[in-house]
Amino acid sequence: MRQDLPRVAPEPATTRLESAETQIGSVFVSNYPPYSFWSDDAVTAARDVLDTPYDPGSERDLGLYLHIPFCRKRCKFCYFRVYTDKNADDIGTYLNCLGREVELYAELPQTAGRPLDFVYFGGGTPSYIGTRHLRALVGRVQAAMPWTGAREVAFECEPGTLTEAKVHTIRDIGVTRLSLGVENMDDGILAENGRAHVSKEIYRAVPWIHAAGFAQVNMDLIAGMVGETWDTWRETVRKTLDLAPDSITVYQMELPYNTVYSRGLRDGESMSSADWQTKRDWHAYAFEQIAEAGYHQSSAYTMIRDGNEAGFVYRDAVWTGQDMIGAGVASFSHVGGMHFQNAPRWDDYLAPLREDALPLFRAFAPTGRERLTRELILQMKTGHIEPSLFSEKFGVDILAVYRDTFAKLEAEGMLTAAPDAVTLTPEGILRADSLLPEFYDAKYRNARYT
């Protein structure tokens, strides 16, 4: 699951994806308002919230995101805050500071003593670190903020970093949802796009994973990687289904700023990338095949095997405005209605923690209307929302507040809006992220996203 860590270069927000060709710029919507409106001036307000005792009457769950920013290679389409040049000592130093950050949160009035509803190990590549480092980190974090009662502990993996012993270690620390970054099953496409793994490493790791007995095994795919064709995509979908994961997540390839591919395009290099209609066709084909194999749709990206009720707690918590501590370099948090982000640079993240201080970088205090919009657009990614739930939580009728936008998208065939439910059409599902900026307030449209 993407947390959308910061890009280095500025990037305009997408209001509607109408261009046929894949152009430089982010499409995936992970938050609202755009990150470019966050500022260091609001950090004081974030600290004030953290220093305020939690009100149990607010009934907000708390989760923990742990950013492990290390990878064997940087994918050519990657824009996350990752490092491929750190040695064992560097990794140990980082994990020590990551553990200290969690300890600091465990002492703050807003988060102290609250049970964790979910834990998410994101990256980077959490499975990159060795079992010794992993066990040490988990022991320290668990001592500060136990997750024995958490409904979900999720962990991202890159196939080539796994050994049988590491898979069992991941299971032993309490992981319930393991997500494997398959992306594609064609070795030529994996190599062209800069992926570190090859297909034989997927086949080597999957039996270990199934034998370990995780409650849910997810596999990620990307429709439209450079070099993809209809034949290779069909094979990727077929081979992924043969591996029998509990859920399959399909993203459409995009070219955010600060990726190898995007820098090359800006420098005049050529690149063969599928246009948006082709990527939507591939996405639709994958969903059709996955559904025929006995899965049902969970969101605009994810299909879950019928009968598997594990769900995706992290995703649902983020999309419904629950509290989440984002620990690690560049990580994002949402606590007590405040958004805030850690320092995005290595030294700037580590230095405050060595002095027992949180490495907060920028923050944003949303208005009630902005919180409403945020939850509306993120939950629309599920493909189905119930207006009554927003009425209960925010005291407003979303069908009235966003009447013009719903009417426009309904006229375009992207959704149906009725008193009991707003439902994206199949075409709306394939374009979900490009539709969401239609709900933005005017001042946030055409603004830099990050």
Per the CB < 8 A criterion, the answer to whether 224 and 252 are in contact is yes
Distance separating alpha carbons of residues 58 and 393, to the nearest angstrom: 11
CATH topology of domain 368-439: Arc Repressor Mutant, subunit A (1.10.10)
Closest Cα partner for 8 from 311, 323, 358, 258? 258
Contact (CB, 8 A) for 327 and 105: yes
Is the pLDDT confidence value at 18 over 90? no
pLDDT at residue 10, as a whole number: 32
Please check whether residue 365 is in contact with residue 41, taking contact to mean a CB–CB distance below 8 angstroms.
no
The CA distance from 438 to 387, in Å, is 18
Which part of the chain has CATH 1.10.10.920?
Answer: 368-439
Q: Which part of the chain is CATH 3.80.30.20?
A: 35-317
CA-to-CA distance for 303 and 319, rounded, in angstroms?
17
Is the confidence at residue 15, as pLDDT, over 90? Answer: no
State the pLDDT at residue 20. Answer: 74
Q: Which fold has domain 35-317?
A: pyruvate-formate lyase- activating enzyme (3.80.30)
Q: What is the mean pLDDT of residues 306-325?
A: 95
Q: Residue 101 CA to chain centroid, in angstroms?
A: 21
Residue 14, pLDDT > 50, answer no
pLDDT tens profile 383-430: 999 999 999 999 999 999 999 999 999 999 999 999 999 999 999 999
Task: Mark out the alpha helices in 130-184 (DSSP H runs).
Answer: 131-144, 164-172
290 contacts 303 by C-beta, under 8 angstroms: yes
pLDDT tens track for 326-372: 999 999 999 999 999 999 999 999 999 999 999 999 999 999 999 99
